[in-house]
Amino acid sequence: MSIAENISNVLKFIPKDVKLIAVSKTKTVEEMKEAYDVGIRDFGENKVQEIQNKYSDFPSDVRWHLIGHLQRNKVKYIVDKVHLIHSLDSIDLLNEIEKQYGRKNAEAHVLIEINIGKEESKTGIFVEQLDNLINAVENCNNIKVQGLMTVIPKGTPEENRKYFKEMKTIFENLSNRQFKNIKMKYLSMGMTADYKIAIEEGSNMVRIGTGIFGPRNYNNK
Ligand SMILES: *Cc1c(COP(=O)(O)O)cnc(C)c1O
């Protein structure tokens, strides 16, 4: 199936109030333009370098989402480019974002990434570290947290559901608190294999790569 057909299939399962991010890592500008031509404006990339490479090939109505781990020394390259950073996962990174966005008098929009399955191989903070990070966010001037993101462990649909439910509970709890720099707008969870369950459990932002663009080609970066 073509990219356009894949998108129209995926959209059948996505309610209007859920945002679709087309995850385009390793994909060519030509492939991404097929998605752009059928209306996709939100693209997700894992690497700062890849956003830099592709950025000028698209009109300014494209919204770039950084969904992979962000190294502190790369923050300075994304200040004017990235619409939403999904992967705030440490106070050190927070401080660097504050510094680099402050320099340009810009406001960073970020999601806090939670390692809900407490997997060693994954980035994101543990729930127990959330309050510390929140306190640090509240001391910032150039950062707005707009929600939460997670990549759940691989598992059965029922295991997935449990993690999505836990995320939704955290999201709701934070929604009921008052903050200066934090507003729970986006709950970014669900990928090709599990986005339908994620939406059932309250996701309002899904990140779909393979389901739109087909298998990734890691030789073709
Ligand atoms: C690659 C990636 C996705 C998309 O994964 P698919 O299974 O291809 O849909 C979503 N989120 C993150 C953080 C990713 O790195």
Write out pLDDT tens, residues 54-75.
999 999 999 999 999 999 999 9
> Which tens digit of pLDDT belongs to each residue from 189-217?
999 999 999 999 999 999 999 999 999 87
Question: Which protein residue's CA is at the shortest distance from atom 13 of ligand 1?
Answer: 67
* Ligand 1 probe mutation, 13, 20, 21, 23, most atoms within 8 A of CB: 23
Helix (H) or strand (E) run with residue 3 in it: helix 3-12
For residue 156, is it within any domain?
A: yes
**Number of domains forming the structure of the chain:** 1
Q: Ligand 1: distance of its center to the CA of 163 in Å?
A: 17
Q: Is 209 in the pocket of ligand 1 (CB under 6 A)?
A: yes
Domain membership of residue 180 as a residue range:
3-213
Question: Which protein residue's CA is at the shortest distance from atom 11 of ligand 1?
Answer: 207
For residue 129, is it within any domain?
A: yes
> Which tens digit of pLDDT belongs to each residue from 135-187?
999 999 999 999 999 999 999 998 999 999 999 999 999 999 999 999 999 99
Which atom of ligand 1 is closest in space to residue 23's alpha carbon?
4
Question: Distance between alpha carbon 120 and the CA centroid of its chain, in Å?
Answer: 20
CB atoms within 10 A of CB 58: 15
Q: What is the CATH number of the domain that holds 88?
A: 3.20.20.10
